Structure 1
Amino acid sequence: MITGSQCRAGRALVEVTRAKLASRSAVDEAVIEQFERKLEQPAPETIAALKSALETLGAVFIEENGGGIGVRLKFTESDAKRIARLEGEGGIVATNRVP
């Protein structure tokens, strides 16, 4: 389950308005606003619908892992390929310590 803050942040990351998210999730725009402003807690099914719609748009929700909850964007296919290529380039291996 996500929080209202994660919903708001996820919406900002994928650059959709509340109206667009309402349309994609079949959740009323007023309910989304109340949830994001922490004024009302919707039913778990409603939160799941919001999470699913945001994930489809490219948001990835991070559960509590000792560092806090969060949200980030998915890597695109081309981003993932570039990262894999850079990781496989090799080079000098050294410690990160600065004397």
Structure 2
Amino acid sequence: MSDISPMDDFDHITGRQLAAARALLGIGQVELASRANISAPTLRRMEASEGAAEGMRNNVASVIGVLEAGGITFLDGNYSGSGGPGVRLTQPAGASIDMQERETIQYREFYENDAPPGAGG
């Protein structure tokens, strides 16, 4: 079994993993539920599940899909570096926003490093 769960094999993802993943992304239950097109009470029940996240399979898949799109990787209990199931943030939560770097830096001349090598800054 792989240490990272593929999207189509999520029966082992726990409610606590969903809650931890949401916390890593810094979003609330209402926002995650909205992004996953489910109700907030449905998400609360999923996160409160003992063991595997309970709910309709398509709802659980939708929540997991939103979390994975935000950079979350789910780790199962067989991951060699852990004592059990967990989550990892594999990319910054803001990485999914499409931004042009040239449009976000106002004073590019101060951004570029023009110091000689070894000069610090």
For residue 72 of structure 2, the aligned residue among 51, 56, 59 is: 59
Q: Amino acid of the residue matched to residue 54 of structure 1?
A: L
Distance of 2:76 and 2:60 partners within structure 1: 15
* RMSD (Å), alpha carbons: 1.8
Q: Does residue 86 of structure 2 align to residue 75 of structure 1?
A: no
In percent, how many aligned pairs have the same letter? 33
Q: What TM-score results when the alignment is normalised by the length of structure 2? A: 0.57
Deviation (angstroms), 1:75: 3.5
More helix by share: 1
Distance in structure 2 (CA, Å) of the matches to 1:47 and 1:3: 10
Q: Which amino acid aligns with 1:8?
A: A
Moved beyond 2 Å, runs of 4+: none
Q: Which has the larger radius of gyration?
A: 2
- Output the amino acid matched with 2:40: E
CA positional deviation for 1:17: 0.5
Residues 27-46 of structure 1: pairs in structure 2 closer than 5 A = 27-38=38-49, 41-46=54-59
Structure 2: gaps spanning 5 or more residues: 1-9, 93-121
Name the count of aligned residue pairs: 76
Q: 1:7 aligns with which of 7, 11, 18?
A: 18
1:10 CA drift (Å): 0.2
Equivalent residue number for residue 26 of structure 1? 37
